Amino acid sequence: MAIPDEAKWLGRPSLGEGFYQLRIGDDETVQTRAVILACGVRYRRLDLPNLAEFEGSSIHYWASPIEGRLCKDQDVVLVGAGNSAGQAAVFLAGLARKVWLITRNNSLGASMSHYLAERVRARADIEVLTNTEVAALNGSDGNLESIRWRNNITGEQEEQAVRHLFLFIGADPNTDWLGQCGVKLDEKGFVHTGAATGKELKALETNLDGVFAIGDVRSGSVKRVAAAVGEGAQVVAAIHAHLERSARQPNIPVGAG
């Protein structure tokens, strides 16, 4: 176990074809015959200078019953237009006094399922603001007090007393460190696995033999906790099969990795 530590580079050392090397510190490396990429994603953040000041208290990247209790009977702002944003807006509307749903798109239909967009529009306690983006956050001592937003077509701005902001604007994969190792990524930086690699491989296998990807970092994954846990269990059998094959190859020492 290396805690806390960060994987910074993945490559093949000179020891042998079946080995990989992970650089996990300034002067620390790990030699291995198998690698599981479970590095997940990072939530996208608004480009506002004082956003970090309110994270941990007033900025939320998910909407669970805990957040629902925090904003009960209050006005809240939710930024996003995908299905996750729509589901969160409907959930919060049952607890909050009012939900402002802000999107830069012309309509919800561009990125949200039709049935979900209709559910959002049907609620009187959800006000959808299209062609709009958050312009400023105001507050003190780490607590949000008001939000100002701007209509990108008219230029008109409005400020409301709001203490909680929910951001559902997507996520980016934590794969910057894989840029030089040869793992095949999609156009958004998620790891290709299985048939998407262009090879006849099983679901969790990358184009590099012995390197697997699971969870949200995998291209085409459903981005759900239950699915990621299932893939984590599934990859164990794949790792055992790979190590068994490797052990039969004479050029790779069985005790390595």
For residues 133 and 104, the answer to whether their CB atoms sit within 8 Å is: yes
pLDDT of res. 255: 41
| Whole-angstrom distance, CA of residue 181 vs CA of residue 183 | 6
Work out the mean pLDDT of the chain and round it to a whole number. 91
Q: Where are the domains of the chain?
A: 9-42+172-247, 45-169
Residue 42 scores a pLDDT above 90: yes
pLDDT of res. 235: 97
For residues 91 and 120, the answer to whether their CB atoms sit within 8 Å is: no
| Whole-angstrom distance, CA of residue 159 vs CA of residue 95 | 22
Domain 45-169: give its CATH architecture.
3-Layer(bba) Sandwich (3.50)
For residues 103 and 129, the answer to whether their CB atoms sit within 8 Å is: yes
pLDDT of res. 257: 43
pLDDT of res. 15: 54
3-state DSSP call for residue 34? Answer: coil
| Through-space distance between the first and last CA atoms of the chain, rounded to whole angstroms | 14
What digits encode the pLDDT tens for the residues 160-216? Answer: 999 999 999 999 999 999 988 899 999 999 999 999 999 999 999 999 999 999 999
Q: Hey, CA dihedral for 92, 129, 125, 139, is it positive or negative?
A: positive
| Whole-angstrom distance, CA of residue 123 vs CA of residue 86 | 12
pLDDT of res. 222: 87
Query: What are the b/e assignments for 91-105, b being 16+ CB within 10 Å?
Result: bbbebbebbbbbbee
DSSP string, 120-160: HHH-TTEEEE-SEEEEEEEEETTEEEEEEEEETTT--EEEE
Across the range 235-251, mean pLDDT stands at: 84
Residue 227 scores a pLDDT above 60: yes
| pLDDT, greater one: 250 or 58 | 58
What residues contact 234, with CB distance under 8 A and at least 6 apart?
A: 203, 204, 214
> Which pLDDT band holds residue 13 (cuts at 50, 70, 90)?
low
Residue 25 scores a pLDDT above 90: no
| Whole-angstrom distance, CA of residue 33 vs CA of residue 246 | 8
Residue 221 scores a pLDDT above 80: yes
Q: Do domains 9-42+172-247 and 45-169 have the same CATH topology?
A: yes
pLDDT of res. 246: 79
pLDDT of res. 100: 98
Residue 117 scores a pLDDT above 80: yes
What digits encode the pLDDT tens for the residues 84-109? Answer: 999 999 999 999 999 999 999 999 88
> Which pLDDT band holds residue 254 (cuts at 50, 70, 90)?
very low
Q: What CATH fold (topology level) applies to the domain 9-42+172-247?
A: FAD/NAD(P)-binding domain (3.50.50)
Across the range 144-151, mean pLDDT stands at: 98
Residue 215: Cβ within 10 Å count: 24
